[in-house]
Amino acid sequence: MLTAEDKKLVQQVWGKLGGAEEEIGAETLWRMFQSYPPTKTYFPHFDLSQGSDQIRGHGKKVVAALGNAIKNMDNLSQALSELSNLHAYNLRVDPPRFSLQFLAQCLQVALATRLGKEYSPEAHSAIDKFMSAVASVLAEKYR
Amino acid sequence: MVHWTAEEKQLITGLWAKVNVEECGAEALARLLIVYPWTQRFFDNFGNLSSPTAIIGNPKVRAHGKKVLTSFGEAVKNLDNLKGTFSKLSELHCDKLHVDPENFRLLGDILVIVLASHFGRDFSPACQTAWQKLVGVVAHALAHKYH
């Protein structure tokens, strides 16, 4: 469960990104495709070469959705409702791939490389919990 | 047997040469106990683990973190024989310590994040890929003797 302190930490971390959100989105996806090649199977229709417009565009979308979730942490279910439907009925990304946190791991690496020591254990914990909560909501309607 | 390209070996050994094993080990173990508090179940005799501050300052955590990462250093020296290198440790973790191998994966991922925070941009996507592969195969080697 996300405590009030967790929510504050998540917002703080996000606040430190200073407009680099789009870049972080693209980098997160690229790291994920490199470190976990099976994740590419969900994007056969994409140009997955480094720096591709599609990776940039999709990274931007993902980060915007996370940003929106962060603004609505008291009601993640509602904030992510559309995306939850999309992932359950349309995209059908294997649920364990959510809880196996490939995307979350790569997002955290992208954040840690930028924030260094500021990516404290407490911030790390809060972001990990937040991404876990997001994954749960997105997997809610699978069956 | 795991196949490593020359580039992967270079990315691993090159980074490892710059790692402060004591610091990174302590930090990785502390983060494991903080981010995944249920892992504290293996460390009942470590004393005060009541808060992130307590965990980070705990001398037993620091010492054990150093021990764990030093052992990890053996993996880096023996990339072509990880199962052999960790055979005894695998038996130990199963028979004596009773650690669910899932925890090796958790610690591996945390180590990657610790390296990312220390090395910043130098922890490139290619670097991360090599290290995610390494922590994965180390976890696998440590689980190999479980029965």
Contacts of B30 in chain A (CB under 8 A): 121
CATH of the domain at A106: 1.10.490.10
Q: Supply A16's token pair.
A: 């430190």
Report the residue of chain A nearest B27, measured CA to CA. A121
Encode chain B (147 residues) as per-residue pLDDT tens digits.
799 999 999 999 999 999 999 999 999 999 999 999 999 999 999 999 999 999 999 999 999 999 999 999 999 999 999 999 999 999 999 999 999 999 999 999 999 999 999 999 999 999 999 999 999 999 999 999 999
Query: Which residue range is the domain that position A96 belongs to?
Result: 4-139
Alpha-carbon gap, residue A11 to A20, rounded angstroms: 15
Report the residue of chain A nearest B37, measured CA to CA. A125
Alpha-carbon gap, residue A129 to A13, rounded angstroms: 13
A141 DSSP assignment: T
Please indicate whether, in this complex, the C-beta atoms of A113 and B35 are within 8 angstroms of each other.
Answer: no
B118 DSSP assignment: H
* Structural domains of chain A, count: 1
Using DSSP, how many helices (H) and how many strands (E) does chain A show? 8, 0
Domains of chain B by residue range: 6-143
Of A112-116, A119-123, B1-5, B14-18, minimum mean pLDDT range: B1-5
Contacts of A39 in chain B (CB under 8 A): none
Alpha-carbon gap, residue A130 to B35, rounded angstroms: 12
ipTM for the predicted complex comes to 0.87
- Superfamily grouping for domain B6-143: Globins (1.10.490.10)
Nearest by CB to residue A113, choosing from B116, B126, B129, is B116
Nearest of A110, A143, A142, A108 to residue A128 by alpha carbon: A108
What residues of chain B have any CB closer than 8 angstroms to a CB in chain A?
Answer: 27, 30-31, 34-35, 52, 55-56, 109, 112-114, 116-121, 123, 125-126, 128-129, 132-133
